[in-house]
Structure 1
Amino acid sequence: MEHSIQYGTQEITFGVDWRNRKTLAIEVHPDLTVIVLAPLKTNLQEVQEKVLKRARWIIKQWAYFDQFLPRTPEREYVSGESHLYLGKKYLLKIRQGESNLVKLRAGNFEVTTSAQPNQTKVKQLLSAWYQAHSTHKFEEAFASSQSLFQQFNLEPELEIRRMKNRWGSCTPSGKIMLNPEIIKAPSKCIEYVIVHELCHLVHPDHSRNFYSLLESVLPGWQRWKLRLEKSLI
């Protein structure tokens, strides 16, 4: 489960791994995730105070690792450019027609605009198409994954929200948030993100119990995590 604090205009999101240890430590990983290693008796307020105290250092680490992250070339939204959907590449075919429309057909994203096509309009139409289809696909995957956790009597709520550095997150109240960008990854990767967050509703930290549950529900999850990372860079 993720937590966050506000440092000026910067929001710092972090996970907490409670362990049998004496001191509290903060790790910033190359993928920009922040993990706090906390003694078992440490409460959340103490953790938040520590993160706030180390906020400047965390932001500095982010800046360092950010320069090594792979970059996706800036999209131009022109005919012939490839775009992902559920792990497959589709080429854009853009034309002017009677109405604004996006269709996925014969290996292509066919985008029709009622006015002269331009980058802004094509991007807007394609983004709206992704948003609509992510809602449908995520709800299906969410219901399917939730059925695997019946023994825990969870009542999670799904929300689709764009996030800068997260595929998904959850709140203590049981809300699971998914980034619509993951609709570009294979279906099994979407399932991995949902299952990962559902596991956090049972085990808020990244303890052995968390990973044991994750492995029992989605054996070989590491494969889909790696595939997701490769799909969305």
Structure 2
Amino acid sequence: MTDYELIRSKRRTLELRVLEDGRVQVRAPQRAPLRMVQTFVDSRRQWIRDQQQRQASRPRQRWQDGSTLVFRGQPLTLDVSPGRWSVSVSGGYLQVRVAEPDSETAVQQAVERWLREEARPLFADSIERQFGWFARQGYARPVLRVKKMRTRWGSLSAKGYINLNMALLHYPPAALDYVVMHELCHLQHMDHGPGFHALMDTRMPDWRQRKHLLDQPLYQP
């Protein structure tokens, strides 16, 4: 039997998550019977094992001179040296200047600050390029929020926000565009039923190949 943490909330469906440390979470409606929850977990046992193996094999990011950081699908070598805070790409290097170059914490904070600054215009551009069709259908443009998310690449809230995972910056631009299109399609179909997939096929015929890019193991912060 698979061990899991059960979280009940005001939701209508069951949701299964495998966290970075391999722990399993199940989110369930307040009144969902335990037998139903257990049956749901048992039916996804192989998927859980696959996800746990994937998390265990994913290398951890190091924040020191000479380490590699993947940015938009391309590996960059960290070039860390003392100086006033600055982070920039030069050729195949990410040049990082911090007051404490031997501190991985200081380097990580500097790079993550830079990543957050990079994320907003890049994510906004993807939304801008893909929103035209939805605007013509009468939908309001969702407000972008950039987040560090443990288990999701993105989400669309009923309050009009599109939340995108900052970790998408590590993947090729095609993967970011896929996640954005996925969330925009939820403007018309809030579930993942046939209508949603038909719209995805129409708006982005190669979305399955793009989705596969997110299955590739990369160094994660």
TM-score tier (shorter): 0.7 to 0.9
- Report the equivalent of 1:139: 124
Q: For structure 1, which segment, 67-76 or 48-57, has the greater mean C-alpha deviation from structure 2 after superposition?
A: 48-57
| Offset at residue 64 of structure 1 (A) | 4.9
1:117 maps to which of 102, 118, 135: 102
Deviations 1:35-80, CA, capped at 9 Å, x for gaps: 9xxxxxxxxxxx8345575697478979954532233222221222
Give the conservation status (yes or no) of the 8 Å contact 2:9–2:30. no
Following TM superposition, by how much is the alpha carbon of 1:178 offset from its aligned partner in structure 2, in angstroms?
0.4
Q: Give the structure-1-normalised TM-score.
A: 0.75
Shift in Å at residue 200 of structure 1? 1.0
1:48 lines up with 2:29 in the alignment: yes
**Aligned position for 2:169:** 183
CA distance in 2, matches of 1:33, 1:212: 30
User: Which whole-Å CA distance do the structure 2 matches of 1:147 and 1:29 have between them?
Assistant: 33
Matched position secondary structure for 1:80: coil
Q: What do the CA deviations read for 1:161-181 (whole angstroms, capped 9, x no partner)?
A: 111100001112332110111
- SS of 1:73's partner is coil
Is the 8 Å Cα contact of residues 82 and 90 (structure 1) preserved in structure 2?
yes
Counterparts of 2:9 and 2:79 in 1: how far apart (Å)?
40
Secondary structure in structure 1 of the residue aligned to 2:215 = helix
1:91 equivalent among 49, 73, 77: 77
8 Å contact kept, 2:17–2:151: no
Distance 1:85 1:14, change over 3 A: farther
Give the number of aligned pairs. 205
Structure 2, gaps ≥5 residues long: none
1:210-225 equivalences under 5 Å are 210-225=196-211
Tell me the C-alpha RMSD between the 2 structures.
3.4
Question: 1: CA distance between counterparts of 2:196 and 2:64?
Answer: 44
**Aligned residue number for residue 209 of structure 1:** 195
Q: Structure 1 185/116 Cα, relative in aligned 2: closer, same or farther at 3 Å?
A: closer
Which string of whole-angstrom CA distances, capped at 9 and with x for unpartnered residues, describes residues 103-131 of structure 1?
A: 10011011111345311110000111111
- Structure 1, unpaired ranges of 5+: 1-6, 17-25, 36-46
The structure-2 alpha-carbon separation of the partners of 1:134 and 1:228, relative to structure 1 and needing over 3 Å to count, comes to: same
Q: Name 1:169's counterpart in structure 2.
A: 155
Structure 2 counterpart of 1:105, one-letter code: S
Compared CA separation, residues 59 and 130, structure 1 to 2 (3 A): farther
Say which SS state the counterpart of residue 230 (structure 1) adopts: coil
Identity among equivalent pairs (%): 23
